[in-house]
Amino acid sequence: MLRRALWLGWGRGLLGLGLGTRRGVSTLEWDGKVSEIKKKIQSVIPGGAWNPLYDTSHLPPEHSDVVIVGGGVLGLSVAYWLKRLEKQRGAIKVLVVERDHTYSQASTVLSVGGIRQQFSLPENIQLSLFSVEFLRNINYLAVVDDPPLDLQFNPSGYLFLASEKGAATMENNVKVQRQEGAKVCLMSPEQLRNKFPWINTEGVALASYGLENEGWFDPWSLLQGLRRKVQSMGVLFCQGEVTRFVSSSDRMETPSGEEVILKKIHEVHVKVDHSQEYQPVECAIVVNTAGAWSGQIAELAGIGKGPPGTLQGTKLPVEPRKRYVYLWHCPQGPGLEAPLLADPSGAYFRRDGLGNNYLGGCSPTAEEEPDPGNLEVDHDFFQDKVWPLLAQRVPAFETLKVKSAWAGYYDYNTFDQNGVVGPHPLVVNMYFATGFSGHGLQQAPAVGRAVAEMVLEGHFQTIDLSPFLFSRFYLGEKAQEHCII
């Protein structure tokens, strides 16, 4: 009877408390008062479990040791390694907040799924070597009673072409790649023609070809495999959007005499999907893996909101950049031995399946950068910019027919087109894994481990990613990667 009386009196109780209307009351105030009222009602019900006034299973927990903002492959990789490296099973409570549970706009599933070691920086080469080993031993992600995970890894390699102008840089890059253990060979135009007769070598002075551990795989399979695995390890998921951080601050003086404000996040507010509700989640650590939107999440935490030229005023320089991927058919196109080809012009392509279908595109120039406000495809860009470059390099592509196309986002680091990994120097419990500008998917297994090591041990262990720390933006020390597609 008491429960029935409370239920019938719910509306009257709201009116009696002056909450019968929301006029003049902010959403946050309203939600807070409703939450308090529910707690008071629950406290007067005698004995036993109480059937709540409405279902709260869609809400995140009130406490989590780690909140990961962004549930793409990078976020899931961080979650996986935190659980795998925890000293005692169940010791760390991890929550992943993802606003788009369909992943319809996620960079992960809209990428072409390539993996390579042909980078210019040793750290990027090491990250990809670790990650390809992880992908080739994907039983790490096996879950009892689930079917085996098949990433459809195709080890056909990458083929980079260089003009006379870029040949010396390519030679230097390959030297670094070999020193780090990558299996890469240089090819002359004549060797190129012999191995890949479908290539027009005009304007090509040198090529580099990945002999092992390069190719492409299915991004969706990796995403789903990681998600199933971390759920089996006890990671919690919430569909919603992070709207606010509640933090405390302390002032301190640096050795140079500059006064800085150190912040620590105590609470993350998560707005639940299709609702005005939000849930505060108390936490010890926040990991920003929000991809193209990680700059906005950093701003929410107060990062970059200080005088220009100071550490406090240094922003996270990551923004969304829209990139198109086109799928075409060409009956006389390159065969099954074709690698992913990257042309000096910026155009690239790879095979897609066994039926003479191909995926590819070309990054726009600074003047051609499309509006990132939507994911509409510019088909004229292919006709006017991409197709002529493809057909010049592969004459068979003169007769290609475009079948479909889509657009996705790069989490583009405008400073040096490289990842940001590790803690923020002032917001001391926010960690980053973002800004990879197109190569985050392939390096996610290694980056996830690096972040987990930093969170759990306080330093990088497997791969030293110190050049990728946030502080480089303030110091002006670029970790410039020259092999960006």
The amino acid sitting at 150 is D
Distance CA 82, CA 261 (A): 29
Distance CA 416, CA 473 (A): 9
Residue 109 is predicted with a pLDDT of 65
- Provide the greatest CA pair distance for the chain: 90
Q: Which residues contact 316 (CB under 8 A, 6 or more apart)?
A: 288, 294, 295, 298, 299, 303, 304, 420, 432, 434, 435, 470, 473
Residue 76 is predicted with a pLDDT of 98
Q: From its phi and psi, is residue 302 left (phi > 0), alpha (psi between -120 and 50) or beta? A: left
Residue 275 is predicted with a pLDDT of 77
Element (H, E) at 133: helix 122-136
Residue 128 is predicted with a pLDDT of 97
Distance CA 268, CA 243 (A): 8
Q: Are 290 and 297 in contact (CB under 8 A)?
A: yes
Token digits of residue 235: 């990671």
| Angle of the 167-179 helix axis to the 122-136 helix axis, nearest 10 | 60
Residue 254 is predicted with a pLDDT of 78
Distance CA 142, CA 282 (A): 31
Q: Which residues contact 52 (CB under 8 A, 6 or more apart)?
A: 38, 42
Dihedral in degrees, nearest 10, Cα atoms 472, 308, 416, 293: 100
Among the listed residues 204, 222, 74, 213, the one whose alpha carbon sits nearest the alpha carbon of residue 141: 222
Give 245's strand partners: 268
Q: How many CB atoms lie within 10 A of CB 352?
A: 19
Distance CA 357, CA 350 (A): 9
Distance CA 133, CA 225 (A): 16
Distance CA 422, CA 454 (A): 7
Q: Which residues contact 147 (CB under 8 A, 6 or more apart)?
A: none
Residue 433 is predicted with a pLDDT of 98
What are the 10-residue block averages of pLDDT along the chain, 485 residues in total?
37 37 45 52 49 62 97 98 95 95 74 94 97 92 92 96 97 97 98 98 98 95 96 96 96 83 97 85 98 97 94 96 96 96 97 95 92 94 97 98 95 95 98 95 97 97 98 95 84
Cα radius of gyration (the chain) = 26
Q: Are 446 and 127 in contact (CB under 8 A)?
A: yes
Distance CA 439, CA 214 (A): 13
